[in-house]
Structure 1
Amino acid sequence: MTTIRDVAKRAKVSASTASRILSNSTKEKYSEATRSRVIQASIELGYRPNFAARALVSGKTRIIAAIFPRVYDTPFTALASLQILSGIEAYCSDNGYHMLISSPKVTADSELDPTFVNLLSGGYLDGAIIDGHFNITPIIDAVTQVKLPCVVLGHHAHTHTLRSDNHAGGQLMMQHLIDLGHRRIGIIAIPDIEQRFLGVKDAAEANGIAFEDLPFAVGNFSEESGEKAAAELIQKHPDLTAIVAFNDRMAMGAIKALSNLGYQVPDQISVVGYDNLPRSADFNPPLTTIDHQLASWGNQAMNLLLDVIRGKKPKSIVLTPQLIVRASTGKPST
């Protein structure tokens, strides 16, 4: 069996140098020529690293769990989650780590699947990144019990978090419509995103709009739920001139429903979403939305997690959202 020493000898470097290069270590800087020699030698010799042996020596498996509850549950499999997972995977690939995706089931009694608990406690993982946009209290409790380093995505009381300022994002989307002259605004909300809801509320009240008088419907992240909610809103409140949807998929569903009912967006009614998914720019009409830097979440979450693993005490990260104005919003016609 080919060993790392064989690779090092062929590449004319030390065994430690060969090991660092093949594990994509970022602690040491090597010339491209040195890297190329080591990689070429490993290919020529058919070298395959023994991860189990490496873990025994270093005490690290270099495996990170991306714990995303309900990621496989169709209404919740949002492109937002896939963007974050893609960022985590890219960082792991570039830096010698491996990502394991876990979507644990949490029962009504807040019980976790025993196999998931075994995964956390079995010494397989160096750390975890947890999607905190759902009920994750049992997961956090289990992670804390085994002292596994972790970062939580979203608004959560955990020590190490990465999140967008949902309150500011909610204010931005509502203020944009108000600045255009809209006052009769319907809301398609998601109960789990409280800060976004409060941001919309605060913007309305700051502009003299009685928030409790604004009609709202509840969605579940999916395009279908946005379609249903928008149809309900416009049929009950035909005087609406704008709709705020708490994510892009529901906003797209809302536009589809409005079109089916004979409304033109934005000539007769404006729609604003949230997430700035790649599809939003190509939608018809292109969707006005809130960009909360989803493309960078995976990279930033991994950097934060590695600081935690190394025993540092990093500050949690709060990302500032940005309004992206496109063709789905305009001034009210009346």
Structure 2
Amino acid sequence: MKILGRHSKSRLCVCLIFLITCVIYIEFVSYYFNSLNWYSLSCKDKHKCTKILLVADPQIIGNYEEPIHFLTPITIFDSDRYLKKTYLHAYDFVKPDVVIFLGDLMDEAHKASNEEFHQYVRRLFNIFLGHENPSIIRHIWLPGDNDIGGEDTMITKEKIKRFNHAFSQPSLITMKNITFFKINRLTSDIPVYKNKREFYDTNEIFVGLSHMPMMFKPSTFVEKVFDKMMPHVLFTAHEHKSMIISTNALLKQDFHIVPLTPENNQIFEYSLAMTDMYEIMIPTCSYRMGTDKIGYGYAVIEDNDLHFTVLWSPSRFHQLVFYVILIILIFFSSSAYVCYTCICNILRKRRNPARF
């Protein structure tokens, strides 16, 4: 019996070591190995170079709409932790000058009370700003339909006002030779810009920021934006996938689309203010959006040169599936071992009844 006990303890120790090793690898080491697949973008002159980290559709989970409602605290904890972890790795890799949040920051903000809205904002800041010095890094915030309405609910002045109060900043933001301007396709708003400029002027690069796609979904409003603001490049979101769309800046007729996936990831290089304008759609950074192709956009603009790549994140769904399989294996192996031990004990008692 003592030998059996020693064997049981040994097996238990091996199982525990295996479990701990799996958890450490999945929750920590795998993120480091994943970052080894990322492409680094270099600058020739750091004084002329602007590094941009792009965050799209984090849609932090709300309090009410989870399919299995009683698991909401667990899903919120896991989703927030995943976002914080992947963002931290991307942030440390890029070391950005500016971080741009392209809307749909919160999943249920458009339906939330004022108190709930501010709770969501505090969670959002804890995830993305908890480790930064906000006085050094610029942040640009855009609203999405999940933040102020526009698809499932109506847009109201109150929703717009509370979002602008929480994320107060102008619609035109200038850094070095770049002017970032916000486009709100949900409310058909663009900033007022009265200075005269030419599209081919490389002294000032105009970067349009929109939650909703522009070239991907043409309209009269899109034409108005192009005519008035003449962006050299647009960063957009909403579709939860990544692609680069280009068209001739004057004709705006034929659109060339390049889908971006982890399988075809590379560094894309463009000269801005030459002949074409570009729209770069950023994938969602949340694993809750029904896709495993998730990540962050990374762009560098120096003079009129644009370099772009996607920092793809590891699939949390694959990690969770592995955990489920591991739990099932442990359950069945433990059950089989218990049954085997019971059968052995019964047979031993039958063979040697006097000893028991």
TM-score (norm 2): 0.31
- Larger of the two Rg values belongs to structure: 2
Higher relative contact order (CA 8 A, sep 6+): 2
- Greater percentage in strand: 2
TM-score (norm 1): 0.32
